[in-house]
Structure 1
Amino acid sequence: MLLLLPACGLHAQALHGTVLHDSLTTPMPFASVGVRNKPFGTVTDAQGRFSFPDSPELTSQDTVVVSCVGYWPVRVPLPALRQQHAALMKLRPRAQALREVTVRHRQLRPEVLGHSGKSGMARWGISSMSQDSTGPRDMRGREFGTFLRPARSCYVDSFNVYIESNPFRAVRFRLMLYAVRDGKPATALLPDDVQFVVRDQRTGWISVDLRSYNLQLEKKQPVALALQWLDNDTPSAERWFFGIPAVFPAPLHRVFSRNKSQAQWTTFPMQPSMYLKVQSWQE
C-alpha cells in the first residue's frame, strides 16, 4: 500500500494572522495561506484566522501568499509576518467577466472523463499512524488531483470522487480546475469558489453538481482536476484512516500533489478514482 502523506515538522513558534474581506469587517474563511515554493502554510478558519509553524527552512527572502478563488492574492514578506503577533491582511475581489450562457444543442453524448473504478493498490489520504508528538499532521491546504484531456469539446455536469475510508464527521474540500503548462497545474479555470463537505463518515461515490457553472472544456485541452483539503474534525477512534484509492502503477496516467497551496508540485504514475461527468458534442 502506498500512502501519499504530508510532511510537516515540529517547531515551537508559529506564524499568525487574520484574513478579511476588503471591507475590513468580514472574515475570509478557508483562504489558502502558503510560503511560495515551499511546503509550509495552512488554511484560514471560519473566523479568517490562521496559524502555522515557523521553521529554520524559512528565510528572510521568503514570501507568504494569501489567496482565494475570486480575489486578488496578497503577498507578505516573511520577516513582516514574523514581526507581527497577528498580522491583518485584506483580500480584494477580482472582477470577473460575465460567463456566456450557452444553450446546449441536441447532438450531445454523456461521457466520463477520468477513472470511474473504485479500487487500486495506492491510496491518497491520512491515517492515525502519520503523526508526530503534537498529534495528527495538518492536511489543511494540501492538494491532490489528476490530469484529464477530453477527446471532444464538452460541457461539465458533475465532479465525482470515491472515498474508500472516512473516520471524520465532517471534511471540507475545495474543488480546483487548472489549465496545464509545462506538465504542471497552472492558471485556475473555475471562476467561483466551489466547496463541499463530506459528512457523517460517508464513504463511496461523492458527487458535486457543476451544471450551474456552465463549464466548457475544449477538445484536446489538458486540464488538471484537484481537491484541496480545507478542514476536518478530530476522529474519536484511536486508529483511523481516510483514503481515496488509485491504480498503481499507471504508466499512461499521472497524478499531482503538493503539501500546501504554494509548494512545488510533484507527480506520480497513478490514476485515482476521480472523474468528471460531461456532455460531449459530436463533430
Structure 2
Amino acid sequence: MKVSLSIISIFISLIVHSQEKIILGKVLNFDDSEPLAYVNIGIKNKTVGTVSNSNGSFKLLLNDKVTSKDTVVFSYIGFKTKKYLISELNKIKEPIFLQPQNMELNEVVVNSKKIKLKPKKIGRTSKGLGLLHSNFYTYYEKDVDDRLSKEKGMKFKIRRNCHVKDLNFNITSNDFKSLKFRVNFYKIENELPTDLIVKKNLIFEIKDNFLGWFKVDLEPYDIYLKEDIEEVAVTIQWLESVKTNKKSKYFAISTSASPTHTAYSRDKAMDSWNKSGQNLSFYLNAMCE
C-alpha cells in the first residue's frame, strides 16, 4: 500500500494514508509555550474529534465527509477558543497557541440567615439486575484512541441551590490499567446539552481494572448549582487510556431502559448529541436547600 506524506511543519502535518487523512499537531499555552493537555479538538456535527494528550500532541482523523472548507475548533477551559479551516491548517508552520482568557468568577452571596442544607442524591443509585450496560466501545472503532473525547452522561433535575460533593457511577466492565476522564456540567436547551456551566477541568483517573461503584470527589472544586438551573446534563468524557493487554476494549456502566429519564452521548468533541430513554447507574451526592 502506498503512503503519501506531506510535512507542513515539525508540529502540524497532514498525512494521507489510502483514503484516510490525519492531521497531527501540538497545542501550547501562548503565554509560556507549555503544552496543554486534553484540549477538545473537532469539527462540528461531522463525527470528527479528539483531545490532545498529556504532552499537548494530537491526532485528528478526518472522515470522507470533511472538506477543505470545514472548520476545526480548539476549545479549552480558561482559554480563548480558536478556529481554523482545514485549508488553513495545511499552511500552518508552528504549533497551535491558545491564549488564556480572564475567567469571570460567580458572585458568592453570604446570607446572615442560617440555611439548613440537606443531603440529596440526584440520579440513579441502584445497580439494578446488571442486565443492561452502556458501553464506551462500538464495533466501528479500530482502536481505543478512536474513543478520545467520547462522552456519556445523564440529565438531572435540580430546582434548588445545591453544593455538589461527588459523582458516582457503577462500572460493570473494565479492560484498562488506567483511564482518565473529565466531568462536564452542561446547560440544557431544547432538550440537549449546550454550554458548559462549570468552567473547571474536572479530571479523574480510574486505575487497575476497577469494577463497582466509583466515586469522583468534586468537593475541592466548589461546585454550586443555583436553583434557577432546573436541569443539568452531567457527562464523563474519555481523555486517555492504558490497556491491560492488546485485546483490551471494554468499559461499561450499568443502565436500565426508562421512558422517564434521558441519557446523553456523543462520539466526538463538537459532535451532535444523541439522547435515549436510559437511566445510567450514575448520580450526584449534594447538599441542597
What's the TM-score, normalizing by structure 2? Answer: 0.85
Q: Deviations over 1:10-57 (max 9, x none)?
A: 953311111101125201111111112211121111211111222221
Q: Does residue 109 in structure 1 map to residue 118 in structure 2?
A: yes
For the residue of structure 1 that corresponds to 2:20, the secondary structure is: coil
Structure with higher RCO (Cα < 8 A, 6+ apart):
1
Distance 1:153 1:108 in 2: 9
Counterpart mapping for 1:127-206 below 5 A: 127=137, 130=139, 134-136=142-144, 138-206=146-214
48, 52, 55: which one aligns with 2:56: 48
* Alignment correspondent of 1:80: 88
* Alignment correspondent of 1:223: 232
**Amino acid of the structure 2 residue aligned with 1:110:** P
Q: Deviations over 1:88-110 (max 9, x none)?
A: 21111221123445669451110
Q: Does residue 90 in structure 1 map to residue 100 in structure 2?
A: no
Distance 1:87 1:38 in 2: 26
For the residue of structure 2 that corresponds to 1:178, the secondary structure is: strand
Q: CA deviation at 1:118?
A: 1.6
**Amino acid of the structure 2 residue aligned with 1:107:** K
Highest Rg: 1 or 2? 2
* Alignment correspondent of 1:236: 245
Distance 2:96 2:248 in 1: 38
**Amino acid of the structure 2 residue aligned with 1:89:** I
Report % sequence identity: 27
Q: Relative to structure 1, is the Cα distance of residues 81 and 170 closer, same or farther in structure 2, using a 3 angstrom cutoff?
A: same
Q: Relative to structure 1, is the Cα distance of residues 116 and 11 closer, same or farther in structure 2, using a 3 angstrom cutoff?
A: farther
Counterpart mapping for 1:16-27 below 5 A: 16-23=24-31, 25-27=33-35
* Alignment correspondent of 2:7: none
For the residue of structure 2 that corresponds to 1:79, the secondary structure is: helix
Q: Relative to structure 1, is the Cα distance of residues 252 and 19 closer, same or farther in structure 2, using a 3 angstrom cutoff?
A: same
Where does structure 1 lack aligned partners over 5 or more consecutive residues?
A: 1-9
Distance 1:131 1:184 in 2: 25
* Alignment correspondent of 2:127: 118
Distance 1:261 1:221 in 2: 25
**Amino acid of the structure 2 residue aligned with 1:40:** V
Moved over 6 A (4+): none
Counterpart mapping for 1:47-66 below 5 A: 47-66=55-74
Q: Deviations over 1:199-249 (max 9, x none)?
A: 11111111122223322223361111011100101231636521111111x
